[in-house]
Structure 1
Amino acid sequence: MTPDTIETFHGQTIQHGKYNNRIYLMKFNSNNNGKLPFKLIELAEKKQYSKIFAKVHHEYIEEFLNLGFLCEAIIPCFYNGRQTACLLSYYMDSARRKSATPKENEKVIEACRKKQQAANHAAELPPSMTLRRGTPEDASAMAILYRHVFKSYPFPIDDPEYIRRTMKTYVDYFGIWQADKLAALSSAEIDAGLGNAEMTDFATSPESRGKSLALILLKHMEEALRKKNIKTFYTIARAASFGINITFAKQGYTFSGRLIQNTQIDGRFEDMNVWYKTI
Structure 2
Amino acid sequence: MKTKETDTIEKVGDDLIQHGKNSDRIYLMHCTKSDKKQLLHYLNKLGKDQNYSKIIAKVPESLETAFIKDGYCEEAQIPSFYSGEETCKLMGKYLLPERQKVKDKQQIKKVIEHVSARSHINRIKPLADEFEIKRLTEADALEIAFLYKKVFESYPFPIFEPNYLNDTMKDNIKYFGAFFEKQLIAVSSSEMDLDNLNSEMTDFAVLPEFRGHQLAYHLLTKMESEMVKDGFQVLYSIARSASYGMNGCFAKSNYHFGGTLFNNTQISGSIESMNIWYKELK
Q: TM-score, normalised to structure 2's length? A: 0.96
**What CA deviation, in whole Å up to 9, does each residue of 1:59-79 have, x standing for no partner?**
011111011101100000000
Select the residue among 80, 88, 92 that pairs with 1:77: 80
Counterpart position of 2:274: 272
- Distance, in Å, in 2 between the alignment partners of 1:200 and 1:229 is 19
Aligned-residue offset at 1:82: 1.3
- Distance, in Å, in 1 between the alignment partners of 2:146 and 2:106 is 33
Indicate if the aligned counterparts of 1:123 and 1:215 stay in contact, CA closer than 8 A: no
Greater displacement, 256-265 / 24-33: 24-33
Counterpart position of 2:103: 100
- Aligned-partner residue type, residue 170 of structure 1: N
Counterpart position of 1:66: 69
Aligned-residue offset at 1:190: 0.2
**What CA deviation, in whole Å up to 9, does each residue of 1:117-156 have, x standing for no partner?**
32x2433211011111010010111111111111011111
Aligned-residue offset at 1:10: 2.8
Indicate if the aligned counterparts of 2:36 and 2:66 stay in contact, CA closer than 8 A: no
- Distance, in Å, in 2 between the alignment partners of 1:55 and 1:97 is 18
Matches within 5 A, 1:83-94: 83-94=86-97
- Aligned-partner residue type, residue 30 of structure 1: K
Counterpart position of 1:143: 145
Indicate if the aligned counterparts of 1:204 and 1:214 stay in contact, CA closer than 8 A: yes
Matched, 1:211 2:213: yes
Greater displacement, 205-214 / 120-129: 120-129
**What CA deviation, in whole Å up to 9, does each residue of 1:17-50 have, x standing for no partner?**
1111111000001123533222211111111111
Indicate if the aligned counterparts of 2:188 and 2:219 stay in contact, CA closer than 8 A: yes
Tell me the SS of whatever aligns to 1:197: strand
- Aligned-partner residue type, residue 190 of structure 2: A
Counterpart position of 1:243: 245
Over 3 Å counting, the alpha-carbon distance change for 1:149 and 1:34 in structure 2 is same
Matched, 1:53 2:56: yes
Over 3 Å counting, the alpha-carbon distance change for 1:207 and 1:95 in structure 2 is same
- Distance, in Å, in 1 between the alignment partners of 2:35 and 2:188 is 34
Tell me the SS of whatever aligns to 2:119: helix
Counterpart position of 2:256: 254
Counterpart position of 2:112: 109
- Aligned-partner residue type, residue 43 of structure 1: L
Aligned-residue offset at 1:193: 1.2
Indicate if the aligned counterparts of 1:123 and 1:216 stay in contact, CA closer than 8 A: no
Indicate if the aligned counterparts of 2:189 and 2:201 stay in contact, CA closer than 8 A: yes
User: CA RMSD, aligned part only?
Assistant: 1.1
Counterpart position of 2:24: 21
Greater displacement, 236-245 / 101-110: 101-110
Q: Could you list the runs of 5+ residues in structure 2 that have no partner in the other structure?
A: none
Tell me the SS of whatever aligns to 2:248: helix
Q: Could you list the runs of 5+ residues in structure 1 that have no partner in the other structure?
A: none
Q: Which runs of structure 1 show a deviation greater than 6 angstroms over 4 or more consecutive aligned residues?
A: none
- Aligned-partner residue type, residue 11 of structure 2: T
**What CA deviation, in whole Å up to 9, does each residue of 1:184-203 have, x standing for no partner?**
11001000110000000000
Indicate if the aligned counterparts of 2:12 and 2:39 stay in contact, CA closer than 8 A: no
Identical-pair percentage: 42
- Distance, in Å, in 1 between the alignment partners of 2:78 and 2:131 is 34
Select the residue among 127, 130, 133 that pairs with 1:128: 130
- Distance, in Å, in 2 between the alignment partners of 1:141 and 1:46 is 38
- Distance, in Å, in 1 between the alignment partners of 2:159 and 2:125 is 27
**What CA deviation, in whole Å up to 9, does each residue of 1:81-125 have, x standing for no partner?**
11100000110011111223222212211211122132x243321
Indicate if the aligned counterparts of 1:5 and 1:15 stay in contact, CA closer than 8 A: yes
Tell me the SS of whatever aligns to 1:158: coil
Counterpart position of 2:180: 178
The count of aligned residue pairs is: 278
Select the residue among 38, 41, 45 that pairs with 1:38: 41
Counterpart position of 2:233: 231
